[in-house]
């Protein structure tokens, strides 16, 4: 997966702004980060402002330790903050972002919390989604919706009254051009609406299939119990 376009300075600033608040209820300042990490405040300010783009490996390692992220994340080689080798591999192999991996980890924690509760089947829900034949179509419609919205944004809808269009040769050409923009805009918006509706229907179908699955399993278990009885 191609890392995001965030600069090194933006990554450092993001990490600092997302750090836990101190006793004063505020995020750590560059001075506080410097004192805790052992890296000078001048270097930290330089990195965050973009003036320092090649920090030493010692400073990079110290700041990675302070924020609990990998050096590759700080350098912009990956979007996965987690140092875990498995997380890094999954990102490189399947393109899942750091946020996606954290979301999956949250489901794992929930599943472990409800390990004795058969009704809280988080793994089953995820597997149903990913293994559904409709899932690929769902992804396609989500992508198409985004592309249609972006295309429409390039051709904003403008309204023109008869009074502000001059009926000269150049004015007629200008008017035709405006009409074409309106057509492109409306077609793109209609396409986006269509793909959004299709995506919603596909997702509803997957949810319905998942909801029916436990009932079918209960029925099968009841039949097995009757046979054993």
Mean pLDDT (the chain, rounded): 79
Instruction: Kindly indicate the confidence band of residue 168, based on its pLDDT and cuts at 50, 70 and 90.
Output: very low
d(CA 81, CA 96): 12
d(CA 41, CA 158): 51
Helix (H) or strand (E) holding 176: helix 169-228
In terms of average pLDDT, the best of 26-35, 90-99, 121-130, 211-220 is 26-35
Global confidence as pTM:
0.53
In terms of average pLDDT, the best of 13-27, 154-168, 203-217 is 13-27
| CATH code of domain 8-104 | 1.10.260.40
Helix (H) or strand (E) holding 126: helix 122-131
Decide: 43 and 52 in contact? Cβ < 8 Å: yes
d(CA 87, CA 97): 9
């Amino acid at each position: 997966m191609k890392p995001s376009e965030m600069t090194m300075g933006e990554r450092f600033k993001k990490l600092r702004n997302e750090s836990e608040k101190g006793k004063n209820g505020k995020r750590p300042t560059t001075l506080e980060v410097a004192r805790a990490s052992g890296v000078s405040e001048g270097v930290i300010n330089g990195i965050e402002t973009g003036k320092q783009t090649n920090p030493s490996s010692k400073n990079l390692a110290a700041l990675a330790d302070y924020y609990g992220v990998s050096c590759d994340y700080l350098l912009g080689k990956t979007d996965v903050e987690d140092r875990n080798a498995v997380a890094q591999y999954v990102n490189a192999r399947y393109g899942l972002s750091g946020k996606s991996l954290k979301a999956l980890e949250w489901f794992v924690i929930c599943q472990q919390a409800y390990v004795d509760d058969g009704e809280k089947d988080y793994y089953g829900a995820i597997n149903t989604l990913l293994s559904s034949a409709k899932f690929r179509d769902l992804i396609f419609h989500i992508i198409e919706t985004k592309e249609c919205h972006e295309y429409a944004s390039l051709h904003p809808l403008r309204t023109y009254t008869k009074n502000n269009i001059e009926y000269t040769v150049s004015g007629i050409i200008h008017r035709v051009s405006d009409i074409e923009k309106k057509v492109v805009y409306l077609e793109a918006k209609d396409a986006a609406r269509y793909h959004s509706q299709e995506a919603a229907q596909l997702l509803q179908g997957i949810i319905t299939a998942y909801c029916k699955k436990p009932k079918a399993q209960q029925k099968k278990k009841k039949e097995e119990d009757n046979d054993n009885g």
